[in-house]
Amino acid sequence: MATFVDRVTLHLKAGHGGNGCVSVRREKFKPLAGPDGGNGGDGGDIVLVADSQVTTLLGYHRGPHKASDNGGPGMGDHRAGASGETMELAVPVGTVVKDADGNELADLTVAGERIVVAPGGQGGLGNAALASTKRKAPGFALLGTPGWEGDIRLELKTMADVALVGFPSAGKSSLVAALSAARPKIADYPFTTLQPNLGVVQAGTFRYTIADVPGLIEGASEGKGLGLEFLRHVERCTALLHVLDCATLEPGRDPLSDLDVILGELAAYLVPDGQTPLLERPQLIALNKLDVPDAQELAEFVRPDLEARGYRVFEISTVSHAGLRELSFALAALVEAERLQADAAPARIVIRPKAVNDAEFTVRSEGGSDGNFFRILGPKPERWVAQTDFKNDEAIGYLADRLAKIGIEEKLFAAGATPGSTVVIGPGDGVVFDWEPTLTSAAELITGPRGSDLRIDQSNRPTRDARRERYFERMDAKAAARLEMEDERKAGLWREDAGTGDGGETIVGEARESDDGAPIDSDSRVSEGEKSEA
């Protein structure tokens, strides 16, 4: 017997894009006739498609790992690589698609509805596509980007027009089998039904679907029994049919108390925003098992109280099929009225335009054990980094030009970055750079944050105390020089010559040695007497 699976986690890996090709066309008498490298092919997408012929997620429960094809690499002579084939995964109508964090991505309520859950990678451009008037022969190509890889969660919410609710063993599965061609498991013990059962009912020319919700007991909305597991299947229904057991033998139970418990659990269950609360939807009551002795008497006793509450009551028997025709047509009338009302309501189109001030990237400062660094996040910078071949210097220069054009350097300056700062592009480890800004003219001096200029903040003018200290140092040096000259004069080291100095001495431009053999500076000074003796 097939297992009913309504929750599953898929592990998806979309195809990677193919790398671009670096190639140069060669012709006779033209060994370098221009670049002709082709583009790489795009990776295959993974798409979910709502299919009315699929009723369970069992196939994905047994094989949750799915991967699409990679794109082919580009080739010379302008030949592009082949794109990866798109993988389509059929899911039941009524499947809710969520990401790994539980955020809803899509609600597939119409057959044929599609959603791309894992986009394939983008193929890299060849050097022919990168050629321009300024770059006529690119010696590099762009790499293909990796496809999306991660987990998504699928949750099935049964698409039925009428939901049958009631206590275990109230006869819901028997009613589905009596009204439709479905053949669910039926037994005389509680919790026989462990999964919702769907059936198609034909009432005259009108057709609708019914489903029973198993395991509703007191506390079901809080997780008791099976109710919390399957109450979400009631969200899609147009009308509710309360199946009340008029032949129960459990003490303390009767149709009225059973109804109060079920209403309390339905009221406690919160439906998603935008949907009608369960108790505000059309509701009918079916008093079941009238073929059992004394059940008819109990049904006649509680019927006035139920009608006084505003309910329309039907007395039925799934064994003898008594009252089933009237109940079937009454349910068909409710469903038809709701469908007409839904068709008459104007279609609501939700348009989410991109904000005019939506930044292409963000720059933020983060701290770590090795000091602060700056992280750049955004689809464009992250994609450009993934497309760059860091073994090619020309490709690195092309990346720097692309980043500069979108204003990353200005944002780094505004965040407080300085030349040599560590910059990480992408989440997690990302790609790490030592940032060296691209600057021109006098801008190399403007490396501080906004509002500061090193040309203004820098001041080399000495203070008054510094000037006074330097003056005294010069005076001390001069005094020491005078004392040294006086000692040399007294020692007879000076001699007179043709020219005289400031003190009557003459500068002699020849080198001599002292008595101990040490050389004396050629700019020695001699007295007038020594000069005449010479």
Length of the chain: 534
- 405 is an annotated ligand-binding site residue: no
Which phi and psi (to 5°) does residue 99 adopt? -85, -175
3-state secondary structure 401-452: HHHHHCCHHHHHHHHCCCCCCEEEECCCCCEEEECCCCCCHHHHHCCCCCCC
Which phi and psi (to 5°) does residue 120 adopt? -75, 165
Q: Tell the residue number behind the tokens 């094989």, with chain if given.
A: 63
pLDDT by 10-residue block (mean), the chain, 534 residues? 72 96 86 87 95 83 94 93 95 89 87 92 93 87 94 84 83 84 62 66 86 65 51 78 83 83 81 78 89 84 90 88 90 87 64 66 77 86 92 89 87 85 86 76 46 49 86 93 88 59 45 46 44 40
- 192 is an annotated ligand-binding site residue: yes
The DSSP 8-state label assigned to residue 322 in this structure reads: B
Output the pLDDT for position 11: 96
- 173 is an annotated ligand-binding site residue: yes
Residue 420, in any domain of the structure: yes
- 462 is an annotated ligand-binding site residue: no
- 197 is an annotated ligand-binding site residue: no
- 501 is an annotated ligand-binding site residue: no
Which of 310, 344, 378 is at the close of a domain?
A: 344
The structure tokens listed for 283 are 């509701």
Residue 220, in any domain of the structure: yes
HSE at residue 435, side-chain half, CA atoms within 13 A, is: 24
In this structure, the answer to whether residues 332 and 426 fall within a common structural domain is no
CA distances from 80 to 76, 124, 206 (A): 8, 10, 54
- 318 is an annotated ligand-binding site residue: yes
Residue 292, in any domain of the structure: yes
Alpha helix (H) residue ranges in 274-421: 295-308, 324-344, 379-386, 393-405, 408-415
In this structure, the answer to whether residues 318 and 182 fall within a common structural domain is yes
d(CA 488, CA 503): 13
- 524 is an annotated ligand-binding site residue: no
d(CA 136, CA 147): 31
- 24 is an annotated ligand-binding site residue: no
In this structure, the answer to whether residues 222 and 78 fall within a common structural domain is no
- 372 is an annotated ligand-binding site residue: no
> Residue 89 pairs with which residues in a beta bridge?
48
In this structure, the answer to whether residues 191 and 241 fall within a common structural domain is yes
Q: What is the DSSP string of 113-159?
A: -EEEEEPPPPPPPPHHHH--SS-SS-S--PPPPPPPEEEEEEEE---
d(CA 50, CA 94): 8
d(CA 10, CA 59): 11
In this structure, the answer to whether residues 12 and 125 fall within a common structural domain is yes
Q: Are the CB atoms for 226 and 194 separated by under 8 Å?
A: yes
In this structure, the answer to whether residues 191 and 125 fall within a common structural domain is no
d(CA 394, CA 128): 15
User: Domain with 44 in it: what CATH number?
Assistant: 2.70.210.12
- 490 is an annotated ligand-binding site residue: no
Residue 403, in any domain of the structure: yes
Residue 447, in any domain of the structure: no
* Sign, CA torsion 287/290/293/297: positive
- 195 is an annotated ligand-binding site residue: yes
- 30 is an annotated ligand-binding site residue: no
In this structure, the answer to whether residues 223 and 332 fall within a common structural domain is yes
Q: What is the DSSP string of 231-284?
A: GGGGTT-SEEEEEEESS--STT--HHHHHHHHHHHHHHSPPPTTSPPGGGS-EE
In this structure, the answer to whether residues 214 and 112 fall within a common structural domain is no
Residue 143, in any domain of the structure: yes
Which of 435, 458, 485 is at the close of a domain?
A: 435
Output the pLDDT for position 215: 60
The structure tokens listed for 522 are 């050629």
CA distances from 334 to 178, 181, 341 (A): 20, 21, 11
In this structure, the answer to whether residues 325 and 339 fall within a common structural domain is yes
What is the amino acid identity at position 65?
H
Q: Quote the pTM value.
A: 0.64
User: Domain with 308 in it: what CATH number?
Assistant: 3.40.50.300
- 531 is an annotated ligand-binding site residue: no
- 328 is an annotated ligand-binding site residue: no
* Sign, CA torsion 159/164/165/168: negative
- 71 is an annotated ligand-binding site residue: no
User: Domain with 373 in it: what CATH number?
Assistant: 3.30.300.350
d(CA 67, CA 173): 39
Neighbouring CB atoms inside 10 A of 369's CB total 4
In this structure, the answer to whether residues 110 and 251 fall within a common structural domain is no
Q: Total structural domains in the chain?
A: 3
- 447 is an annotated ligand-binding site residue: no
- 54 is an annotated ligand-binding site residue: no
Output the pLDDT for position 53: 80
Residue 19, in any domain of the structure: yes
d(CA 363, CA 424): 10
- 86 is an annotated ligand-binding site residue: no
In this structure, the answer to whether residues 140 and 251 fall within a common structural domain is no
d(CA 428, CA 231): 39
- 81 is an annotated ligand-binding site residue: no
In this structure, the answer to whether residues 383 and 311 fall within a common structural domain is no
HSE at residue 239, side-chain half, CA atoms within 13 A, is: 25
Q: Which residue range(s) make up the domain with 80?
A: 7-156
Which phi and psi (to 5°) does residue 101 adopt? -90, 0
Residue 216, in any domain of the structure: yes
Which of 126, 156, 186 is at the close of a domain?
A: 156
3-state secondary structure 142-153: CCCCCCCEEEEE
- 272 is an annotated ligand-binding site residue: no
- 29 is an annotated ligand-binding site residue: no
